[in-house]
A and B are shown apart, each in its own frame.
Chain A
């Protein structure tokens, strides 16, 4: 019983980590393709601003006032959420913008829901900068 639970936890963690790496890689190299990770029902709260649906979310992300950036991830925590196969992921790290001397620290939370094709999409996304 414990072994099965451990295996499930490891699975959730692997999925969470893989997703996070994929998400920030896309963000940093091909931001517009993040559209593949959101649906019409998706919600993003970005520094307090609420957006709904893949179109509005991607418009916001694409309009952020910087071209190049790099996310460095410090911590990734995952837990299964109750929604059949859903996963909550909590990330902290720093965001380096080109031309900025100091990186910005941030925390971000994702709620991932499985798709019929065996992948995940972002149903909930909350982003906050962590000011010193």
Chain B
């Protein structure tokens, strides 16, 4: 499958899961996964999902502006670089963000997130 198509499919799946059923993001992380969220470092699926489900907003919607991807090396990994907007319910203005994922293949022909770095883009 075309890597760009794989990256796009992953991104769509990730953000629609985030926006509709945030706790099931645990399927996309493993014990070795790392998240840096606005500078805070978190390791492992349980801690990562705890952080994401405890963010101070209930409803949100990610709108994706750009998706770039590159293979990361011989292990079959893929780097995905996303920019977009995050609209929180009740907020007038959307927040701009950038996010980087390093996806690694699973034995079930899927991907999990090994590295995840999220930053808001302030004006």
Contact = CB atoms under 8 A, between A and B. Distances in A.
Interface residues of B, number: 28
Contacts of A92: 98, 119, 121
Interface in A99-132: 105, 107, 109, 111, 113, 123-124, 126, 128, 130, 132
B102 A88 contact: yes
5 contacts: A90-B100, A111-B72, A111-B102, A126-B68, A126-B70
Interface in A68-119: 75, 77, 79-83, 86, 88, 90, 92, 105, 107, 109, 111, 113
B35 to A, nearest CB: 9
Interface of B: 32, 34, 36, 39, 41, 66, 68, 70-75, 77, 79, 81, 83, 96, 98, 100, 102, 104, 114-115, 117, 119, 121, 123
Contacts of B114: 81-82
Interface size class of A (residues with CB under 8 A): 20 to 34
Contacts, number: 88
B73 A77 contact: no
Smallest CB-CB A-B distances: 3 pairs: A107-B98, A90-B117, A126-B81
A9 B34 CA distance: 11
Interface of A: 9, 43, 45, 48, 75, 77, 79-83, 86, 88, 90, 92, 105, 107, 109, 111, 113, 123-124, 126, 128, 130, 132
B77 A81 contact: yes
A132 B102 CA distance: 26
A109 B118 CA distance: 12
Contacts of B72: 81, 83, 86, 111, 123-124
